[in-house]
């Protein structure tokens, strides 16, 4: 008998799937305190949560039988993924369950904003009849700019098109051919800002997308633009938005998410007459909650019964002996993919993976899944996992090629990635050193040996005296500790790659200072 604990409220339609399996004993215990969950978890083979339960390292350490953690939702910020992986516990989520609900809520917000519905409703209920005060605008023939064409972004595009809106979009991971097939014009971000009457964000929140829309970006937009965010709080700079609402540059905004949740209820933004707000309701429909419950319960059921894995966030292979052997390479491959995306900006049309050495005698499909997940994760975040990575890459028009070769002159085993980025061929390669420690050994054809870990700075520079000194001085002045520094060059005085492991992130201001140093060609901050 396998014991399953459901520690958050879950739709009965999902629970029924588990209760019908005679090998399962299902217990629903909601509102457990952390100490209570820690004491109870030792008796369970699976744990299913939503967002309320925090599955910390301490709780995972107390688990003796736990094989699967299922999250009925997209985000995994309440599950310690690293601790679960270290203990061999599979973590699953439901990246597609709330797609339609969030897309419909986005359109609801756009319509409410355009026709002043919240204000008109409140006015009429207060006993006033003020038709002229709530003059609206039509969606017909307006241009909507969608930032991010994942599942939700595409569903919003379909619904906007049904209103005869002109749909343009920015997505650095989607090919123009694929966008054209679904009737969307793919443009660069600056063009989207300039052309759009409405702008709707549908991206994860990352260091690159935080304050993606701020005062500088709003300055590029049409006077009277309307902004919508039903994705993640922080994509729109709320302070800049308020300023531009007051000036009239932005005609209105519709927000379902906020930089801090719950938000500061005294904030002028929440009280602004041209802002429509809802308390993070994108996935809050009966159908969405049923969908995620069914999806996670089916996934947990199949995993426990060894009938296959879906939406695993941390486990690309099932056979224990194969996982143990390939796990260090899986870690390396995912880091290589993430590094490539963060280093090489632009639309990827092709990804070539070459495996060399003794590892080619094994089934490397889990490793390929990990590499593709690494490539997509910096922009798609928790919506991509090991299981769906390859299909998402195909959806975005990325041609995936694999090859194997037996010999490598310098390394026993080597994983090489070549990406076609905006027509240019870019390359990274890595291997394992002593004690299975991952190493980056090649960046764009230059040998550079560095540990892919934490915050890193990668620089292209001319191999000239003084570069190292000026860089070290600048880092020291800004109290950025350098944990390691390596270099590679094609020839004395030629182009070089410098890789720095640093103990803390570097601000955009400091990166600008680095770019201004003599002989520096480019600099990228990477988080691995």
Which residue among 115, 195, 272, 280 is the active-site one? 280
Helix (H, G, I), strand (E, B) or coil at 316: coil
Confidence band for 172, pLDDT divided at 50, 70 and 90 = confident
Q: Kindly write down the DSSP assignment for every residue of 270-291, as one continuous string.
A: HH-TTEEE-SS-TT-SHHHHHH
Q: Could you read off the pLDDT of 267-277 as tens digits, one per residue?
A: 999 999 999 99
| Residue 222 DSSP label | P
In the set 261, 286, 321, 409, the catalytic residue is 261
Q: Is pLDDT at 309 greater than 60 in this prediction? A: yes
Tell me the sheet residues that pair with 250. Answer: 225
> And the tokens for 479?
């109290």
In percent, how much of the chain has pLDDT > 90? 75
| Whether 202 is catalytic | no
Q: Mean pLDDT across the stretch 325-342?
A: 91
Mean of pLDDT values over 20-44: 95
Query: Among residues 105, 202, 232, 426, which one is catalytic?
Result: 232
Q: Is 65 a catalytic residue?
A: no
pLDDT band per the 50, 70, 90 thresholds, residue 388:
confident
**pLDDT band of 320, cuts 50, 70, 90:** low
| Neighbour-count burial of 167, counting CB atoms closer than 10 A to its CB (0-12 exposed, 13-18 middle, 19+ buried) | buried
321 pLDDT exceeds 70? no
Query: For residue 434, is pLDDT > 70?
Result: yes
**Overall average pLDDT of the 36-44 stretch:** 96
pLDDT tier, 474 (very low <50, low <70, confident <90, very high otherwise): very high
Is 27 an annotated catalytic residue?
Answer: no
Domains in the chain with CATH codes: 1-95+285-315 (3.40.50.720), 99-277 (3.40.50.720)
Residue 75: the pLDDT is: 79
Cβ contact 15:296 at 8 Å: no
The pLDDT, as a whole number, for residue 326 is 82
Helix, strand or coil for residue 191?
helix
Per DSSP, 436 falls in state G
What does the mean pLDDT of the chain come to?
A: 92
**Structure confidence at residue 244 (pLDDT):** 98
The per-residue pLDDT for range 459-469, each reduced to its tens digit, is 999 999 999 89
Find out whether 427 and 418 touch, Cβ atoms under 8 Å. yes
Among the residue ranges 170-174, 228-232, 265-269, 348-352, the one predicted with the least confidence is: 170-174
Res 88 pLDDT > 80? no
Q: Which residues contact 498 (CB under 8 A, 6 or more apart)?
A: 448, 457, 458, 459, 461, 467, 468, 471, 485, 486, 487
Asked if residues 161 and 136 have their Cβ atoms less than 8 Å apart, the reply is: no
Q: What is the pLDDT of residue 344?
A: 93
What pTM does this model have? 0.80
Confidence of residue 361 (pLDDT cuts 50, 70, 90): confident
Output 487 or 46, whichever has higher pLDDT.
46
Task: State how far the Cα of 387 lies from the Cα of 317, in Å rounded to an integer.
Answer: 10
| Best CA proximity match to 397, nearest among 348, 337, 336, 345 | 348
């Amino acid at each position: 008998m396998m014991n399953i604990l459901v520690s958050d409220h879950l739709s009965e339609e999902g629970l029924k799937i588990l209760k019908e399996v005679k090998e399962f004993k299902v217990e629903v215990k909601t509102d457990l305190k952390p100490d209570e969950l820690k004491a109870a978890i030792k008796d369970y083979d699976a744990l299913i949560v939503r967002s309320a339960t925090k599955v910390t390292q301490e709780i995972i350490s107390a688990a003796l039988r736990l094989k699967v953690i299922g999250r009925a939702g997209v985000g995994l910020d309440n599950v310690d993924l690293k601790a679960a992986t270290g203990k061999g516990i599979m973590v699953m989520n439901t990246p597609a369950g709330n797609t339609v609900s969030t897309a419909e809520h986005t359109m609801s917000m756009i319509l409410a904003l355009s026709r002043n519905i919240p204000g008109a409703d409140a006015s009429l209920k207060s006993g006033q009849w003020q038709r002229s005060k709530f003059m609206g605008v039509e969606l017909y023939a307006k241009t909507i700019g969608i930032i991010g064409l994942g599942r939700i972004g595409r569903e919003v595009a379909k619904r906007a098109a049904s209103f005869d809106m002109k749909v343009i979009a920015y997505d650095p991971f989607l090919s123009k051919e694929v966008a054209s097939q679904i009737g969307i014009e793919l443009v660069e971000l600056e063009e989207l800002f300039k052309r759009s009457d409405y702008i709707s964000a549908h991206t994860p929140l990352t260091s690159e997308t935080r304050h993606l829309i701020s005062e500088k970006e709003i300055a590029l937009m049409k006077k009277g633009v309307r902004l919508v965010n039903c994705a993640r709080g922080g994509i729109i700079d709320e302070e800049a938005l308020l300023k531009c609402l007051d000036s009239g540059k932005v005609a209105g905004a519709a927000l379902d998410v906020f930089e801090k949740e719950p938000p500061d209820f005294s904030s002028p933004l929440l009280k602004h007459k041209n802002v429509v707000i809802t308390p993070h309701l994108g996935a809050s429909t009966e159908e969405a909650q049923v969908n995620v419950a069914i999806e996670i319960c089916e996934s947990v059921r199949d995993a426990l019964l060894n009938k296959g894995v879906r939406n695993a966030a941390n486990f690309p292979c099932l056979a224990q002996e194969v996982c143990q052997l390939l796990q260090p390479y899986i870690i390396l491959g995912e880091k290589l993919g993430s590094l490539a995306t963060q280093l090489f900006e632009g639309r990827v049309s092709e990804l070539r993976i070459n495996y060399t050495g003794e590892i080619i005698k094994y089934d490397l499909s889990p490793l390929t899944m990990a590499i593709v997940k690494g490539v997509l994760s910096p922009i798609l975040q928790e919506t991509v996992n090991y299981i769906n990575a390859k299909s998402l890459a195909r959806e975005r028009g990325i041609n995936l090629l694999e090859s194997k070769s037996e010999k490598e002159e310098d390394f026993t085993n080597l994983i090489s990635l070549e990406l076609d980025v905006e027509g240019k061929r870019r390359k990274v390669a890595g291997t394992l050193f002593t004690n299975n420690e991952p190493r980056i050994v090649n960046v764009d054809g230059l040998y550079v040996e560095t540990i892919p870990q934490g915050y890193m700075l990668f620089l292209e520079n001319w191999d000239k005296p003084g570069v190292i000194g000026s860089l070290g001085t600048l880092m020291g002045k800004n109290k950025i500790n350098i944990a390691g520094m390596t270099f590679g060059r094609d020839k004395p005085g030629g182009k070089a790659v410098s890789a720095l492991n640093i103990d803390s992130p570097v601000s955009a201001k400091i990166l600008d200072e680095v770019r201004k140093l003599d002989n520096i060609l480019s600099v990228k901050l990477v988080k691995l």
